[in-house]
Amino acid sequence: MPLYEYICKECSHHFELIVHGSTIPACPQCQTQNLDKQLSAFAVSGGDGNFGFEGDPGGCGTCGDPRGPGACSMD
């Protein structure tokens, strides 16, 4: 079930909505179906299947734990 972002053309409400099958989306604030579908950054990919992952996290200091090297539980 895809998640879409919309901006209502009537009341300018910005919202996200999970769209099921042939459901016609409507603004949750004013109930109009006069919407602009927005480009979602989540839905955009490079086309090569690479989503920015470099593989499994490495040893200490490379997993990105914000507490710094030696703080993660990967050891």
Chain Cα centroid distance, residue 27: 19
pLDDT grade, residue 27 (50/70/90)?
very high
Alpha carbons 25 and 53: distance in angstroms, whole number: 33
Residue predicted with more confidence, 70 or 11: 11
pTM of the full predicted structure?
0.51
